[in-house]
Structure 1
Amino acid sequence: MLDRSKLLDTARQVIGDEARALDTMAVTLGDGFVEAIETILAATGRVIVSGIGKSGHIGRKIAATLASTGTPAQFVHPSEASHGDLGMVTKADVVLAISNSGEAPELANLIAFARRFGIPLIGLSSRPDSTLMSHSDVKLLIPALGEACGEGVVPTISTTLTLAMGDALAVALMQHREFTAEHFRDFHPGGKLGAQLSRVRDLMHAGDAVPLVGLHTPMSDTLLTISQKGFGVVGVLDDDGQLAGIVTDGDLRRHMSGLLDHTAGEVMTKSPRTIGPDSLAQDAVAIMNDRKITCLFVVDPDGSRRVAGILHIHDCLRVGVV
């Protein structure tokens, strides 16, 4: 039978050990980190990240995070590098080699290649006197605090520190480059994140799909437009072609008596809530939820209230914006 209390104690011990190790690294972080940032910024090529075993797994994540936040990066497996993949590394690049011990033999050829061709080498290790660090131009040192397994053999604390160091590099570079949410969206067009960063202009309907009538349009024709366009609403334009109001189901119910004797301008709700094409789709959803409506007319951002399109909440839900 499982000892639940013991299992939870072990989990808390591991998490606590790793948290304390992160605190230690934050306090001891020094000039090597700044030098690493300067070296990466000076490179005109990519950051070539490499490591073997658990360091390799962490290295792949670091490369992916760098690449997705504005710093071109690529993971190169050190063993594959020895069999031709060194051709992926150019003099314009900078190498980030990861090894907790600093003695991984698989990195030897990559280190030698970097030295031979004058490619800047950043070493990330917990041993300042290791082979890797002795050959590195920049030394990124993580504290040597053992591992959380109690035996010192299962990479736990060391991999957590390495991952955090990579995240710190990526975010510091991102902030220096003034990497914005718009840039982030360009690199993350798919999935939940891409949906959350979608702009209204990406999802709205435009052109002939937009239901529009004039102020003096008879309600018989207005109802026909509502039916044909399928949004359950119609925008009403004034004589200058700007959005003066909208006709909704609620407006139809309020004017049910003698409805067909009216014009769109007489039935409409004036000065409806609108949104600009450059607004985030999730902001549009928030407005629709707050107002308990299903559509928003999109108007030009110059303040003229000229209609650029219409956005239905289903357009947002379909791509995952909630």
Structure 2
Amino acid sequence: MGLLVDGQWHDRWYDTKSTGGRFVRKDSQFRSWITPDGSAGPTGEAGFKAEAGRYHLYISLACPWASRVMIMRSIKGLKDMISVSIVNPLMVENGWTFEPDEGVVADPILDADYMHQVYTHADPHYSGRVTVPVLYDKQTKKIVNNESSEIMRMLNTAFDEIGALPGDYSPEELLPEIDAINKKVYDNVNNGVYKSGFATDQAVYEEEVKNVFTTLDELEALLAEQPYLVGDKITEADWRLFTTLIRFDSVYYGHFKCNIRNLTDYPNLWRYTKELYNYPGVAETVDFKHIKEHYYRSHKTINPNGIVPFGPELDLTI
């Protein structure tokens, strides 16, 4: 794990001393939008029109933020419109790399060896963490966006007029409810497992892990009353929660010490996770080998020997 400082790569772990033992995630910096006509989106600059073959995604099969973008690309039928590169699951002194391995897809755009080279190609003086997903415009040679939640919303609607599959996972009339549940899930579950796992203070860890399970308990109760997070319709909110749930027992329970309960101990959440996993086009985006290899081998401060657990055995059939 590292970061760029004025375009120079530094192998540096998160600074939790200055935050009292807390893991604090920084905001993404590239925030333009693809739109049907190329007009400006809610943030960033204009000029990114939805066109087949113009855009490229850089993702990790291990990363839950990248995985939710891959799910949207798949369920909206955009695989032939938006090409993809997949980084190596091991992320150590050089950050994300394209070192050849099973499931890795090399960079056909810049022939980069490291993901940080994609960032400095777009901005030679970039300072910050080098994350995935990254949505890249091959025409202007710019990074459009590296915020997964915004990329999901672009893929949901921007390509509808040029052949995307039908289905609106963020309908306007449900956006207030979707945004509210997204915030709760992000703060306490998506990012909550990281705040637990990367904490370097016992009290901070205990506070954060309790928040994770308090929220899982609440979601379990909600799903006892309705099939999905926002009533009877699958929305973006479900996919954002799913990518954490599908990793929970394999990595977050043990590696991040989120071990008050297994996900499989929650009948409604587990039913829900299996249903979403079996939704057409979703299972192909889930790679447990990449997931486990990344977490257990990359985080040397947590798992210094890099031993990858053999289990758990999960039955995802419905």
TM-score, normalized by the shorter chain, greater than 0.5: no
State the TM-score bracket (shorter-chain normalisation). Answer: under 0.3
More helix by share: 1
| Structure number with higher relative contact order (C-alpha < 8 Å, ≥ 6 residues apart) | 2
The normalised TM-score by structure 2 is 0.26
More strand by share: 1
The normalised TM-score by structure 1 is 0.26
Q: Higher Cα Rg: structure 1 or 2?
A: 1
